[in-house]
Amino acid sequence: MIFNPWIIAQIFGLAVVLVLSLYGAAVGVRILRRWDIESPSQEQLELERRTYLVSTIMQYVLGFEVLSLLVFVMTAEALHTAIQGAMCAFGSLNANPYGFRTLGVKILSVFFYSTWLAVNYLDSQAEDYPLVRFKYLLLLLILPILATEVFFELKYFLAIKPNVITSCCGSVLQRPTNPYGFILLNIPKPPVVVLFYAGVGATALLHILYRRGAGLAYPVAALSIATFGISLVALMVFLGPYMNVLLYGLPTEHRCPFEVLAGPYYIGYPLYTALFLGGIFGMLVGVVEPFKKHPTIREATARFQARASLISLGGFLVFTAICTGSIGLYYLALALS
C-alpha cells in the first residue's frame, strides 16, 4: 500500500513540510531573541532578510497544509477501492486507529494554520513588521500541532493493510455505540434542525451588522466557529441523508458524511469548502481585531476583516443553500413519484 501514488505524494509532501517548518522555527527562535527594528546593526539587517525569506517559505508551507486536508480526504476516498470492506472514505479511514485521529487533527490544525497566514499577511503590510515577534511565537506554538499531524498521518498510511477487512459506514454507523465521536449521530433530528438554521441565521445577521459598522468582531468569530461545529453535526444527522438519498439512492437513515464526496456528483467538495470558508474566515474576523492597536496596520486590518466577513457570510450561505436545495429536491421528487 505504501507504493500507492496518492500515499507517496502525501509522504513526500509531509517530509518537505516538516523540514521547512523546523528551519522556520529555528530562525524564529533567533528572531525572538535578537529582533530590534530600531537597530542599524548588520545582525538586524540579516534578520530582516531572513524573516522575509522564512515568511515566504512558511506562507507556502502552511498554505499547502491547509489544502492538504482536502488532499487527505481525496486520498482516503481514492484508497477505498484498494481496501477490503471499504465502500467510501469512511472505510478507508476506519482501516486502522489512526485514520480518524489524523482527520481530526487536520481539521483542528487548519484553523491554526489559517490564523498564522492571516497574521503573516498583516505583518507584511507595514515596513516596521509590527507583528513579527507574535508571528514567530505563534509559529513555535504551531510546530507541535504540525508534528502531531505528520506523526498520525504517517502512522495511518504505514499501518494500512489491504488484505485486512475493514468495516464501512453501512455497518459501523448503524450501531448505537459507534466510534470516533459518531455517537452524535444518535441525536434526534428536530433540535439539530432548529440549532442549524438558528445558528446560520444568527451568524448571517451578525455579519451584516458588523459590515454596517457595529463593533461585533468577537461575537462574529465566536458564532462562526459555533455554527461551523453545529453544521458538521447537522450534516451527519439530517442534511447528509437527504443528499445521499437524492443523489445515490441510499437509505433515508444513511448518515455517512463521506458519501457526498463520491462520484459522479462530488457535491461534497463544494459543500465542505463553503463550510470551512465560513468557519475559518469568520473566526479570523475576531482573531485579527487586536491588531488594530498598531497604527501602521490599522487600515489593512480593517480591510482584511471586511473581506473575511464577506467570505465567511458567503460560505455559510452557499453551504445552507446547497443543503436546503437538496432537501427541497428530495421532497419534490417524493411528491412526483
Our count of domains for the chain comes to 2
Which pLDDT band holds residue 303 (cuts at 50, 70, 90)? very high
Pair 64, 190 in one domain: no
Query: Cell 478507508 maps to which residue?
Result: 92
Q: pLDDT tens digit string along 134-150?
A: 999 999 999 999 999 99
In one-letter notation, the amino acid at residue 279 is G
Residues 6+ apart with CB under 8 A from 111: 279, 280, 283
Pair 161, 178 in one domain: no
Q: Which of 20-51 are b and which e, b meaning 16 or more Cβ less than 10 Å from the residue's Cβ? A: bbeebbebbeebbeebeeeeeeeeeeebbeeb
Pair 85, 162 in one domain: yes
- For the segment 187-210, the average pLDDT, to the nearest whole number, is 92
Instruction: Examine the fold and report which residue of 169, 200, 215 is the final residue of a domain before the chain moves on.
Output: 169
Pair 113, 183 in one domain: no
Q: pLDDT tens digit string along 82-134?
A: 888 888 888 888 888 899 999 999 999 999 999 999 999 999 998 888 999 99
Rg (CA), the chain: 22
Pair 184, 162 in one domain: no
Q: pLDDT tens digit string along 49-60?
A: 888 888 889 999
- Domain enclosing residue 193, as ranges: 173-337
Residues counted in the chain: 337
Whether pTM > 0.85 for this model: the answer is yes
User: pLDDT value at position 176?
Assistant: 58
Greatest distance between any 2 Cα atoms in the chain: 79
Cβ contact 169:87 at 8 Å: yes
Pair 88, 151 in one domain: yes
Pair 25, 137 in one domain: yes
Pair 144, 178 in one domain: no
Q: How far is CA 110 from CA 19, 31, 100, 276, 298, in A?
A: 19, 25, 15, 9, 25
Pair 312, 288 in one domain: yes
Q: Cα separation of 152 and 96, whole Å?
A: 11
Instruction: Examine the fold and report which residue of 104, 138, 169 is the final residue of a domain before the chain moves on.
Output: 169
Q: How far is CA 249 from CA 171, 243, 287, 333, in A?
A: 17, 9, 42, 12
